[in-house]
Structure 1
Amino acid sequence: MDILYTIGAVLIFAPFIAFLLVVLIARKKMKYQSIGLAADLTTFLLFFSVPVSIKAIWEIDITALVYLIAILIAIVLLVIEWRQTKEIEILRYIRQTWRMYFVLLALAYSSIWAVGIVLSLLHFFRI
C-alpha cells in the first residue's frame, strides 16, 4: 500500500512524468493521438497538483479558486461556442474545454515550479 501512496505522490508533484509515460506507452498503438491522451490524463493530475504545489510553497489553499476558475472558463467557452454555432457539439465542447484546462494548468504549474526554484535558491544563498 505504501508503494501506491508513493506513486500517487510522485504523480501529483510531478505530473509531467505521467505525461511522458503515457506518450511513450501509447505511442506504439495510437501514434499521434497519444499526446492527446497524455494531455487528458495530465489535466486530471494538474487539477490536484497546482493547488498542492501552491500550498507547499506559500501555505495558501487555493483549491476552491482553481475549481471556480475552471467552471468560469467552461461557462465562457460554452457561451462562445453557442454564439458561433447555435448548435453545440457536446463532445467537441468538452474536449476543447479540457484541453484549455491542460494549457492553463500546465502554464500555472510551470510558473509555480519556476518561482519555487527561485525562492529556494534565494533562501539557500540568503539573499
Structure 2
Amino acid sequence: MDILYAVGALLLAAPALLFIIIILLARKRLGYRSIGVAADWTTLLLFFSVPSAAAAIWNYEASMATYSGALVIAILMLVAEWKQSKEIEIPRLTRKTWRVYFLVLSLAHFLICTAGLLFTFIKFFNS
C-alpha cells in the first residue's frame, strides 16, 4: 500500500510523467491519438496537482480558484461556440474545453514549480 501512495504522490508532483507514460504505452495501439488520450488523463491529474503544488509552496488553498477558473473557461468557450455556430455540438465543445484545460493547467503547474524552485534557490543563497 505504501508503494501505491508513493506512486500517487510522484504523479501529483510530476504529472508530466503520467503524460509520457501514457504516450509510450498507447503509441503502438493508438498512434497519434495517444497524445490526446495522454492529455485527457493528465488533465484529470492536473486538476488535483495544481492546487496541491500551490498549497505546498505558498500554503495557499487554490482549489476554489482552479475550479472557478475552469468554470469561467467553460462558459467563455460555450459563448464563443454559440456565436460561431448556432448549433452547439456538446461532445466537440467538451473535447475542446478539456484540451484548453490541459494547456492552462500545464502552464500553471510549470509556473508554480518554476516559482517554487526560484524561491528555494533564493532562500538557499540568502541563508
Alignment correspondent of 2:69: 69
CA RMSD of aligned residues (A): 0.9
Alpha-carbon displacement from aligned partner over 1:43-100 (angstroms, at most 9, x marks no partner): 0011001100000000010101110110111011001111111111111000000000
The 5 A counterparts of 1:100-111 are 100-111=100-111
Alignment correspondent of 1:82: 82
Residue 18 (structure 1) shift: 0.2
Give the Cα separation in 1 of the matches to 2:99 and 2:113.
Answer: 21
Residue 5 (structure 1) shift: 1.1
Q: Flag structure 1 segments of 5+ consecutive residues without an equivalent.
A: none
Identity %: 50
The 5 A counterparts of 1:28-47 are 28-47=28-47
Amino acid at match of 2:125: F
Q: Flag structure 2 segments of 5+ consecutive residues without an equivalent.
A: none
Alignment correspondent of 2:53: 53
Once superposed, which parts of structure 1, at least 4 consecutive aligned residues long, lie more than 2 Å away?
Answer: none
The two structures have a TM-score, normalised by structure 2, of 0.97
The two structures have a TM-score, normalised by structure 1, of 0.97
